[in-house]
Amino acid sequence: MKATAKAHTNIALIKYWGKRNDALILPTNNSLSVTLDGFYTETTVEYDKALTKDEFILDGQEITGVAYERVTEYLNLIRKYGQLGNLFARVNSTNAVPTAAGFASSASGFAALAAAATKAAKIEVSDVELSKLTRQGSGSACRSIYGGFVEWEKGNKEDGSDSYAVAIEPQEHWDIRVAAVVLNETEKEISSRVGMKRTVETSEFYDGWLSGIPADLTEIKAGIKEKDFNRVGAVAEANCLKMHATTLGAKPPFTYWTDATMRVMQTVQNLRKKDIPAYFTIDAGPNVKVLYQPENEAIVEQTLRETTDVSDVILSRVGAGISYL
């Protein structure tokens, strides 16, 4: 009873920012992402009757503590779903997601774990079912089931049965690129889980965030369909700015940006002034992701590398969905 799955991480162009149910991980708004080729997790799950507890090895190291608890709690959910009783598992993961790049490795991590854990137990699941299961490990992970452009439908039901991701356009649809800009200081003080909760509960700007989502989604989906880069970039950048504005209205206020973050944002806006279409987006941390077109790769990379406090730039294409190895 053993299986290996590979999942890529994703970057949200319309952000998931806030939960309506913390336990089931149900969001307050739809989000839309692009799956990234350059960043992935490979996970092997092997159920073994001889084990008296789960084991978790990540990048060759035995993991204990909070990260272990999160994995074993997730396996409890799979055991319940597949009626596996007390059958424990050996989980072996390798991450090709540089932590410093500021990507939530939880997205590719939980997608690969959910896929390998169901496959190893011979539990037949549709993509939709796998997305729902994955969502309960980490919200953004439910989008990593598919390649290309993906929307997570928030759903309305209290049991979460209508909250899952769907494919909007496949990987081959459109060759856009994403540069992950790594900054010198990367320590995250407020996790996305804590940050979004504080924002939902206390930010005066949260209602404004929610009210703009339907129009942003309509706009970006039309832009993706038509492969209109400026249309997609503009709405993604604006949506990111609105998400980050909610943190400034929270009590107490906070921001994920540093001076280096803002310098990169300015670099990207200056590229546009020189007629090089590039747009930024930022998640719950200081690092910046830059959307650009293939023909501008060299100039975008060089300009970002020359920006003060940029320590690395990692380029990625649009990636594929879950695969089994």
* Identity of residue 222: A
Is residue 109 near ligand 2P0 by the rule CB under 6 A? no
Is residue 106 near ligand 2P0 by the rule CB under 6 A? yes
Q: How far is the CB of 22 from ligand 2P0 (least distance, A)?
A: 8
User: Among candidates 148, 167, 152, which has minimal Cα distance to 31?
Assistant: 152
Per CB under 6 A, which region of 11-19, 72-80, 170-178, 299-307 contacts ligand 2P0?
11-19
Task: Work out which of 9, 192, 203, 261 binds ligand 2P0, going by CB under 6 A.
Answer: 192
* Rounded Cα–Cα distance for residues 138 and 261 (Å): 25
Q: How far is the CB of 296 from ligand 2P0 (least distance, A)?
A: 25
Strands 55-58 and 19-21: unpaired
Is residue 283 near ligand 2P0 by the rule CB under 6 A? yes
Site map (CB under 6 A) of ligand 2P0, residues 13-52, x = contact: --xxx-------x-----x---------------------
Task: Work out which of 101, 284, 291, 310 binds ligand 2P0, going by CB under 6 A.
Answer: 284
Strands 323-324 and 2-14: antiparallel
Is residue 301 near ligand 2P0 by the rule CB under 6 A? no
Largest CA distance in the chain: 63
Report yes or no: 202 and 248 within 8 Å, Cβ to Cβ. Answer: no
Q: Which helix (H) or strand (E) is 315 found in, with range? A: strand 310-316
Report yes or no: 51 and 119 within 8 Å, Cβ to Cβ. Answer: no
Site map (CB under 6 A) of ligand 2P0, residues 217-256, x = contact: ----------------------------------------
The verdict on whether omega for the bond into residue 252 sits within 30 degrees of 0, i.e. cis, is: yes
Neighbours of 90 (CB within 10 A): 17
Per CB under 6 A, which region of 8-16, 166-174, 217-225, 244-252 contacts ligand 2P0?
8-16
Strands 2-14 and 19-21: unpaired
Site map (CB under 6 A) of ligand 2P0, residues 51-90, x = contact: ----------------------------------------
> Strand, helix or coil at 159?
coil
Sites of contact with ligand 2P0 (CB under 6 A): 12, 15-17, 25, 31, 104, 106, 138-140, 192-193, 283-284
